[in-house]
């Protein structure tokens, strides 16, 4: 991303709280910044290429991401110039079978068929295992090419510890293990937590300008408040505490409003949350502790709606957040397949509507 865009996002993430001065796009005296998580579910289809071309042809990856920056200069795209293969990178380090598709992100087959097998798992080496070394090498090469074009990689990303565990074990099996085999489940989560930390550090070490991390883990939202405190809270806290000098973004678009307060204490700066949670309620509960990123429905509005519906919903989000303080205007999740350029334009336009 452009340095100006990153600095604007960083100021927003670190300083935009209730009672603070607005630092983004002014809307009737308040601050609103359009931000969007973009990755392979949306990007290849948006530019009209196959997923296989996007994943395997570096020039197509570069062309796609540069076009996005040029077409929507007012939007901050996170993490920005992301080299990813759907959700396959971290599980591939454990030996999961990855199946690639022409026009869809890859699918992942669990590798742990019995919870007792957890004792055999080891934290992957990002320099050698699975798809990780390919990503690291591409990052090293692409960063040089991007700098020539005035673009920068300022943030890296990883799937979270519960998301990785669910891929290794299978989601239903992981959730049952959590209740039936808590000791073994915690052993698995210790391994996946160290995997997240190691993978993020490996990316940071290969790049020269990283100032932020993003962790994506929807499985956390499937837990009860009690299970969250036991099986998610300490592991998320350990991850975010390992990157004290970074801007930290957490994505979880499962609609679990019962864990908001403890979740906000794990150490991240920005929360991207579900559109099914009322943004006004979330704002009043934790908007003084973290910067909120949301909350337009990614499918019902940004994909299936028209530009006027996008603008109307986005403006309502801004109103509910007291005019946009502590708000990064975004989808209540990432960019979904089928979202049009016109609807993204409408999201940007909503930040300029006088309230």
- pLDDT at residue number 21: 46
* d(C-alpha 283, C-alpha 54), whole Å: 37
Domain residue spans of the chain: 3-350
3-state SS class at 328: strand
Nearest-angstrom CA–CA distance, 113 and 285:
40
280: which 2 tokens? 């006004």
Quote the pLDDT of residue 24.
46
Domain boundaries 3-350, corresponding CATH code = 3.20.20.210
What local confidence, expressed as pLDDT, does residue 17 receive? 52
**Residues of the chain whose pLDDT is less than 70?**
16-31, 326, 354-355
Q: What is the pLDDT of residue 25?
A: 46
Q: Residue 109 in 3-state DSSP?
A: strand
Q: Looking at the DSSP assignment, which residues form a beta bridge with residue 213?
A: 156, 248
pLDDT at residue 326, as a whole number:
64
Per-residue pLDDT at 216: 98
So what's the pLDDT on residue 231? 98
Task: Say how far apart CA 11 and CA 19 lie, in whole Å.
Answer: 15
Question: Residue 179 gets which letter from DSSP?
Answer: H
8-state DSSP, 221: G
Closest CA to 211 of 162, 155, 168, 254: 155
Report the C-alpha gap between 6 and 326 in whole angstroms: 17
The answer to whether 300 touches 266, Cβ cutoff 8 Å, is no
- Nearest Cα residue to 260 out of 230, 231, 234, 290: 290
| Cβ-based neighbour number of residue 220 at 10 Å | 25
**Residue 188 and residue 208 in contact, taking contact as beta carbons nearer than 8 Å:** no
**Three-state SS for 239?**
helix
Beta-bridge partners for 156: 213
What whole-number distance in Å separates Cα of residue 24 and Cα of residue 39?
Answer: 24
């Amino acid at each position: 991303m452009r340095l100006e865009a990153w600095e604007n996002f960083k100021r927003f993430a670190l300083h935009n709280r209730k009672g603070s001065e607005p630092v983004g796009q002014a809307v009737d005296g308040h601050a609103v910044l359009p931000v969007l998580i973009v990755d392979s579910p949306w990007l290849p289809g948006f530019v009209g290429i196959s997923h296989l071309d996007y994943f395997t042809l570096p020039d197509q990856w570069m062309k796609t991401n540069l076009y996005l920056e040029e077409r929507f200069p007012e939007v901050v795209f996170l993490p920005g110039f992301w080299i990813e293969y759907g959700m396959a990178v971290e599980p591939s380090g454990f030996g999961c079978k990855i199946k690639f598709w022409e026009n869809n992100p890859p699918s992942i087959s669990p590798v742990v068929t019995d919870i007792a097998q957890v004792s055999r798992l080891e934290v992957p080496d990002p320099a050698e295992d699975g798809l990780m070394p390919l990503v690291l090498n591409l990052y090293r090469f692409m960063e040089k090419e991007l700098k020539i074009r005035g673009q920068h990689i300022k943030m890296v990303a990883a799937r979270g510890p519960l998301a990785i565990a669910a891929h290794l074990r299978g989601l239903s099996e992981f959730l049952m293990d959590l209740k039936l085999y808590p000791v073994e489940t915690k052993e698995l989560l210790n391994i996946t937590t160290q995997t997240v930390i190691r993978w993020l550090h490996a990316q940071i070490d290969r790049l020269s300008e990283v100032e932020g991390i993003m962790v994506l883990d929807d499985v956390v939202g499937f837990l009860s408040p009690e299970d969250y405190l036991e099986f998610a809270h300490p592991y998320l806290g350990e991850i975010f505490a390992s990157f004290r000098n970074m801007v930290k973004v957490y994505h979880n678009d499962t609609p679990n409003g019962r864990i908001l307060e403890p979740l906000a204490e794990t150490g991240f700066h920005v929360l991207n949350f579900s559109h099914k949670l009322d943004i006004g309620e979330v704002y009043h509960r934790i908007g003084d502790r973290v910067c909120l990123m949301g909350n337009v429905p990614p499918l019902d509005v940004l994909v299936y709606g028209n530009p006027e519906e996008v603008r109307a919903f986005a403006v309502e989000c801004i109103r509910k957040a007291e005019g946009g303080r502590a708000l990064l205007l975004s989808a209540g999740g990432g960019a979904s397949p089928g979202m049009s350029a016109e609807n993204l334009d409408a999201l940007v336009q909503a930040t300029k509507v006088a309230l």
